[in-house]
Structure 1
Amino acid sequence: MTLRAVVAGCGHYLPARVVENAEFEARLDTSDEWIRSRSGIERRHFAAEGETTSDLATHAARAALADAGLVAGDLDALIVATSTADLTFPSAATMVQAQLGMTRGFAFDVQAVCAGFIYALANANALILSGQAERVMVIGAETFSRIMDWDDRSTCVLFGDGAGALILEAKTGSGSVEDRGILSTDLHSDGRHRDILYVDGGVSTQSTGFLRMEGKEVFRHAVEKLAATANTALAKVGLTGADVDWVVPHQANIRIITGTAKKLGLSMDNVIVTVQDHGNTSAASIPLALSVGQAEGKIKRGDLVVTEAIGGGLAWGAVVLRW
């Protein structure tokens, strides 16, 4: 028998305020058509004044608990993937832990920008396989609207706020690729490419900073690296793109999503796409898309799912799991 980290439930949360592309036309040299044609984004959600990343994460966590039929006391660990935590410290995860009323176990943040949820899933999987936890909540949550330069039309129209959560629990399987749960993970980073996607501020510089991005360079790296990491993760367990039911990619740009699907030899009919409604929500985008995909009846128990992401660092990776 083989121990697996199996999905027990998922959920998501989006702030109430919906921002259509047209809202940017009044103060930027841009248009709805320009944004749609270059990114596929039609709208995004922005957090309300006083609404924090940990607030969004807590809402998503409660939705995931409800979906799984669990309560906070059933969790052994809680991981939040975010680049926009409420405070320098303590972690957003401990804030969510407190808001949920979770008084046992442990909580911590993971920071790998848009690849954060992939990194968090890999960490949760390792905790379960090592026996340190039996049930782990993994959350991706961001308020990227707080680090936008509203005069930079190349970046501020692309990002949104939101949160998604997944609960993994230890189950035994046969050891075959037919088992439910995480089958493989693949992680990478290369700090030499820091300057193509970063925030120009931080604690040691005593400034908050704004997101800066060289879009063409990010695109060039993204399609190649995302397809490669997805294929590597599949190959680790003897699978190929032909075995995949759903690709759930980081929702950054529709052109990156379609380009990656093409390299994997998959139809867009096998890809969960939410970028049009959410924009790029960084570490939140994959769990948001997983939750939406399940809610819409697309992702079903037993489906083989590949999820992949790339973000600042550069950091990238993929996870193969059976739902």
Structure 2
Amino acid sequence: MEILSFDVVENIIETLYTSDNRKYSSTKACSLTRSKDSPLPQSGTPHKLQTLLSTTPAIGKHIRHLSYSTFNAEDLGDPALLTAAFQKITHLQSLDIRIMDMYLNLETSTVWNDRIRVVFLPLLQLDTLSDFQLYGARGFSIADVAACATLRSLEFGNLTFSPTPLSAVPLSPATLAFSNSFTCIISYMSTARCANGDHLIDFSAVSILSLMGQNREDIETSRRVLQMCAYIVELSVKTDLFEDFTTYEIENITAIRETKTLKRLHLVLMLIHPPFDDTMSSFLVALQNLAHKISRILRQRHHENGMEMDN
């Protein structure tokens, strides 16, 4: 089968667009994007995205998902120019911002300051945004997303918050995900209040919860999170374990008995620096006993709620 060249495909798309520009507007936008973004893989700089949106603003209304990774605020270039370019994006549904710190160290990670905030704020205020992920920032202002009534999914990791005035309307995400030492994140979000005194996060609205822990503190926090999420349906837990963890601590990860509405569980335990002696054998036996205990609970819950278990 003969493969058409890009030039021929572009001519076909142009003909279709000319015949019915309303029906084929999205197709035309994709064609424009392809012709403009070919240098992107070679350069890998935000300036190309800025240029793409500035020279072809019609593309902006067709962008639904944006994933943006940067090492620091300086990588963003001129904030005013990038902000103006991002304002062309009007129907964004998912925004993923990752300010990369190779050591995941909050003491040295980038501050969510005016230089970064001003660039992404127009996107955070879109009434179409439903999914927001942020990793690797200090002093993030939750007020920047508090006004987004359509927000249904929040994912945070390696993050601290700054005390800021809050919205009078609580956030009601159906999905919450926390990773990379999430205890400090939970501590803030569980106590933060709206201007009228209500909790900023309506944990009763959460039906899907994902936790990725790295230490004992995270494991202890996980039970508290599950107690707040009274109507959780799906739970995913991934955590590092050291050889001196007890099965009681591991059981705290899921707090299965306290989640009456749970229907689906995905559990991943990663043993870090396993010992090469009898301690390892006893630890594995303890894990097997715990697995049997969880299985018994799940079988009982299966009859009650139709619960499933992946791992």
- TM-score, shorter chain, exceeding 0.5: no
TM-score by length of 1: 0.24
Higher normalized helix content (fraction of residues): 2
TM-score by length of 2: 0.24
Higher normalized strand content (fraction of residues): 1
Which has the higher relative contact order, 1 or 2, with Cα contacts under 8 A spaced 6 or more apart? 1
Structure 1 or 2, whichever has the larger Rg, is 2
